[in-house]
Amino acid sequence: MQRQNAARRQAKSFITKTSVMRHEVNERKTMLLAILIGIIVVALLLAAAVPMAYFRWKQQRRRQWFQTPFPPEWTTILEQDVALYRVLPPDLQRELQGHIQVFLQEKEFEGCAGFEVTLQVKLVLAALACLLLLNKPQEYYPTLRSVLIYPGAFLVNGRWRENSGVYEDGMDVHLGESWQHGAVALAWDQVLHDSRRPRSRQNVVIHEFAHQIDQHKGFSEGAAVFASADQAERFARAVRREFEHLRHEVDDGIDDVIDEYGVVSPMEFFAVATEAFFTMPEELRRFHAELYNCLVNFYRLDPASWRDANGNQ
């Protein structure tokens, strides 16, 4: 009987020990789970906080650059070499100066084929590129890193669609080129020629940076970048109609304020229509009123109302 009691005590003590051990293992598991959840929560918070802090820091830095006083000698260069700067209303001139300061800080300028990049080169390019950014929330061409500048026309190897619609492979002479992978290339002699001439109709910098906006937003591929679906639909309709109209004009040998190169594709049409919008706005408004109004909505600017100190466009 005594032996039986001892065995029972031993069994009871074993059961108690086992349940204590089980309890300890469960506690450890719970603690590990809590630590793991804690680590995941901290990682998620960091993943959200770091980009937000970076974004805020970037915005603050941009604000500082934007507000830096614009050197008077820089203004002189703009007045001499950028005809469109002279016709801008004073508030837009001030805004453009701010954007130029940000653009110069954020983008690389690289001289190619022995070309030397001077302050004049940087200012003219930045002014024309930033003209397209006026009067709306800014993104400063987020995918663009470098502007490559050649002294004159340069050769590019690739596949090209001619105005006739025929594709050709091989080397082609270019005055400008916009790539999706972060670069725009330009021929300086053409840039300066277009920039100095009022009502130039063509402007290679405006053309290539219109492509940059388009490539980023996917506008010519149908992305809605307008304030309303109604505006987007109106623009798509106007572009389709004007694109077909330009094709017929080119076939019939009729000259238009929109460059005939626009018949190559909707993407090129958007780029040449943007050139006409900024450099021949009154003519574009007169002969292509709906397209002009759509571009006013798109760029949130009305270049037909711009005049220089003498009242000239």
Judge whether 176 and 139 are in contact, CB under 8 Å: no
Compare residues 257 and 271 and give the one whose CB is closer to Zn ion: 271
- Rounded least distance, CB 161 to Zn ion, Å: 11
Give the integer Cα–Cα distance in Å for 144 and 180. 8
Contact flags string 210-249 toward Zn ion, x per CB under 5 A: ----------------------------------------
3-class DSSP assignment, residue 110: strand
- Which residues between 77 and 136 bind Zn ion (CB under 5 A)? none
Residue nearest to Zn ion (CB): 271
Smallest gap, in angstroms, from Cβ of residue 213 to Zn ion? Answer: 12
Give the DSSP letter of residue 71: P
The CB-of-125 to Zn ion minimum distance in angstroms stands at: 17
Of the ranges 35-43, 106-114, 166-174, 260-268, which one interacts with Zn ion (CB under 5 A)?
260-268
CA distance 283 to 291: 12
- Read off the DSSP letter of residue 261: G
**CB nearer Zn ion, residue 128 or residue 271:** 271
Decide: 294 and 243 in contact? Cβ < 8 Å. Answer: no
Minimum CB separation from Zn ion for residue 154, in Å? 15
- Say if residues 50 and 43 touch (Cβ distance below 8 Å): no
- The whole-angstrom distance between residue 210's C-alpha and the CA centroid of its chain comes to 9
Whose Cβ is closer to Zn ion: residue 121's or residue 210's?
210
Cβ at position 227, least distance to Zn ion in Å: 26
> Would you give the DSSP letter of residue 88?
S
Measured from the CB atom, the residue of 214 and 283 that comes closer to Zn ion is 214
The secondary structure of the chain in percent helix, strand, coil, rounded to multiples of 5, reads: 65, 10, 25
Cβ contact 168:203 at 8 Å: no
Kindly state the number of chain residues that form the binding site for Zn ion, as judged by CB under 5 A. 2
Nearer to Zn ion, 74 or 243 (CB): 243
Using CB under 5 A, which residues numbered 261 to 290 contact Zn ion? 268, 271
Residue 189 C-beta: closest distance to Zn ion, Å: 18
Strand-pair partners of 110: 148
Under the rule (CB under 5 A), what is the footprint of Zn ion? 268, 271
